[in-house]
Chain A
Amino acid sequence: MRNWTKFLAGLAAGGFVLSATAALADEIRVGITMRMVSENGQKYGQMVMDEIGLINEAGGINGHQIKATLMNDECKSDKGVANANKLIFQEKVHLLIGSTCSSVSLPIVDVTAKAQVPQIIPHSTNSQITQKGSAWVFRVPVSGRFYAGVNAKYVGENIGKKIAYICAADAASQNDCDAMQAQMKSQHGADPAYVAQVQEKEVDFRTHMQKIKSAGVDGIMVAALAETMSRALIQSYEAGIGTDVRRIGSSSASNAPVPKISGDAVKGVFYAAAYSNADTRPIAKLFNQMVKDRYGIHAPDHDFSQAYDLIRIVEIALNNSDLKLTNSSLAADRTAIRDAIANVKNYQGLASGPISFCAAATPQCRDGNKTPVLIAYKKGGEAFETEVLARVNMPEDFGL
């Protein structure tokens, strides 16, 4: 028992010593906080680290190595904020990458704004992230305000105006669901035919499906995380709702588990995203191959493509910034990196459209990708296939 207390005390003390090691000069320090609780999450965390490793192997940035620190925030805001504080104040990073969850990115925006550290977001769609007026935040993915617009536009014009909604309680799905309903109203004057608020991990949709069936709708929007969405899709067919009723996914329909779990039920489901792995451009084919070889992933979704684009943008920005990288130049270096990211214009990568930033602390400037793509599943199951339905360039003021 004595040993136990000694052991624990030793562990705590050891931990302190480890993290108290001083930051080295002459390196570009990059902190990353992401949700790494799922297998996919860990893999794209790994991809970010690998890509940074490759930059370093190729000689780094203007001769400087990048020191990257990757932390898990479990998609929890308190953990994410703690990570951001640690990265900013302890690791003294020049740039913060993260998070992959809106509910974590939202509070971190305030942390980076106050500490004056550039923050670039790989995968959070909540519109408010860039509406807080922070001059230090950049968003690589397509903002929720564009997604909502493009979905509603396509649905209203091509499917119909009588739409039922199943909305799960997680952050992203709620946001998608609310935005879609608002857009259907504002673009087409259509009220929801049916709305069901369900648990984040709801398992039984049967009563909802029966009601939707008798309501005779044109389409069903299922806004939920991957597994929940799959269950809802399958149960919609089990309830006897025919293929003439189109299924519309929320942003997480893009996640690989959806077609895998849903099987045939996923056919015809389309979703708006920032990347399609059915993209036929050579850069996309190369990327798909790379992710498959390195991480064993059959068809990477936009979680991967955005993380990859983000690293390329960071690389460009870092190459264009004039960094001193001394202990006293930290604030100046952070500002320089921020300004360099703001100067990235018309970056053409994997994303559905060009990514551009500008200096003003406005959503117009800081939501990089304004061109969502609509993707439909042609085939479900392990070897699922997708096709591009449409690419829509949204006006930069849309949804503000």
Chain B
Amino acid sequence: MALLETRGLSKSFGGLKAVSGVDLKVQPGTVHGLIGPNGSGKSTFFNLVTGVYQPDPGSHIEFDGHDITNLQAHGIAALGMARTFQLLRLFSEMTVLENVMVGNHCKTSYGIVESLLGTSRVRQADQNMKEEMLDLLEFIGLANFADIPAGELSGGQRRLLALGRAIAMKPKLLLLDEPGAGLSPVNVDKLMETILGLKERYELTVVVVEHILKVVMSTCETISVLDHGQKIAEGPPEMIKNDHAVIEAYLGRELPDDEIRNAIRGQ
């Protein structure tokens, strides 16, 4: 059974159909790529699935056996879905450690009234959580920066922290929106390694949006391609590489076939 399944997922902004009738299945334990030209609706797809946007009527989203079509974002998160944002959206005035602790919010073991009273159980639980989160920071290489505000990190460190915050939720499904944007090629490779490491360590299913196709091709088991809000292709990397519709969507018709193929292969 698919971990995430959308049927007829649509969203329009005024007249613009940002996502239209997308059927998509993500199998558990896989790394699923989502690609498409700028403005093709990838981020909107994420926003719909995570409850940031309300989908249009007729859409249907199922996650881990629950109908989440009309759930609010925090409810979906509680079911085990985590994501990063294209523009990161870190809590920049909070410390690095606090950022990942917020990520761990759903796993808080004490109630709200208790948290307001500051009982010893709260302090113990917070202490345990802190240690666990420091472990996580250690794994992604940010332990030394635990106490500084997230806003003071470098660009690459911020991307790592965004990832860490999502992982801290201990999700079943992790949606990554352009995790490598703005990184140098070497760092992108490193990042992908980290992501795959995290996937193994925390037994995640991952959906990744990425423009660097080389990365997508080499890490994803399945790739879905969006264009103008519609799914135009889906399959294993080898199939996508040679799909004519994909090639057209990316580069138009004018280029000779070879060049197109090379471009998509990321050479």
A and B touch in the complex (CB under 8 A): no
Binding site for A on B (CB under 8 A): none
Binding site for B on A (CB under 8 A): none
